[in-house]
Amino acid sequence: MAIITLSTDVGQQDYLVGAIKGQLLSQDERHNVADITHYLSNTNYPQAAYICSNSFKYYPAGTFHIVILNFFDTTINHVLVAKHNDQYIICPDNGILTLIIGEKPKEVIKLGLQEEHNLLGRTNIIAKAITYISKNTNFFKPSEASTVSIVEKYPLKPSIGADWMEGQVLFIDNFENVIINITKAEFEEQRKERSFIILVSRNEEITTISNNYADISEGDKLAWFNSAGYLEIAMNKGRIASLFGLQGYNESLAKTGTVTQNKWFYDTVKIFFI
């Protein structure tokens, strides 16, 4: 048996998630299948990677993580199967793998999809592969990893100057709290114990780092470092993203180079050190 997680962009309005779980359990009814999310953004790969990477690390060794994201964005005849930190990630070859783990894995292969052109045909192949891999510990050949060509994309990094740093909106949660791609370690290294101003929007500033929401009054803004270690901008009992026009990265616009006219939203947050 194996622990298997599902992270997809298919939603839960129809039968697909249930059918995929059925395929996995049909291979071995002892499998333990866990849902991470079925609402990954297929236009925001960094956001999808943020969710996956910060979930996967809490699972035990030997866990299989299936990531279904833009499975039909391009014509592909394979998915990637990688081993990283004693866990397995199975995902499309569209750059999401390196976004999740931050590097090209040393153990990775391409799993052929044959002539399967629908989602359940492909997930059935994945289900069979998980059963095979779990029974064959010598499945990977590390010496061949360097010869496997995969699409590589890497996490967004903040821009840094002598007295400032600028981070991009990485994720906006259900309460419209805004996570920025600046870690606590990156912030402190650049800060050098100086005072700072976090410019949330053109006229909105935050000048302290809070421990949690109890530090501020209802309706006040706060900045703090969340459980994943990233800078989070929020409002106590408020929705800061829509209030101040904050919006995340869009993969589709990045691909086409489209620029939004009369842009009213901000997708970056700047910090000045003084």
To the question of pTM greater than 0.75 for the whole model, the response is yes
Flag the least confident range among 49-53, 68-72, 152-156, 254-258: 254-258
Residue 73 near residue 44 (C-beta atoms within 8 A):
no
Residue-averaged pLDDT of the chain: 89
Q: For residue 168, what are the contacts with CB-CB under 8 A and spacing of at least 6?
A: 46, 156, 158, 180, 181, 249, 267, 268, 269
* CATH T-level assignment (fold) for domain 159-273: Elongation Factor Tu (Ef-tu); domain 3 (2.40.30)
In the prediction, which pLDDT does 143 show?
Answer: 55
What is 3-147's CATH number?
3.40.50.10790
The pLDDT tens digits for 99-110 are 999 999 989 999
User: 124: which 2 tokens?
Assistant: 């059935």
Sheet holding 3-8, edge to edge: 32-37, 3-8, 64-68, 87-92, 78-84, 107-112
Q: How confident is the model at residue 248, as a pLDDT?
A: 67
- Answer for the pair 8, 38: CB distance below 8 angstroms, yes or no: yes
Residue 266 pLDDT: 61
pLDDT at 40 > cutoff 90: yes
Digit-coded pLDDT (tens) for 18-31: 999 999 999 999 99
Structural contact between residues 126 and 111, judged by C-beta atoms closer than 8 angstroms = yes
Under the banding of pLDDT at 50, 70 and 90, the label for residue 82 is very high
Across the strands, what pairs with 223? 233
pLDDT for the residue 38: 97
| Residue partners of 133: CB distance under 8 A and separation at least 6 | 64, 81, 88, 139
pLDDT, residue 265, reads: 47
Residue intervals of the chain classified under CATH 2.40.30.90 are 159-273
Please state, in angstroms and rounded to a whole number, the distance separating the CA atoms of residues 124 and 66.
12
Task: Evaluate if residue 88 carries a pLDDT over 60.
Answer: yes
Residue 85 — pLDDT band, cuts 50, 70, 90?
very high
Residue extent(s) of CATH 3.40.50.10790 domains in the chain: 3-147
Looking at 44-58, 59-73, 94-108, 234-248, which range is the least confident one?
234-248
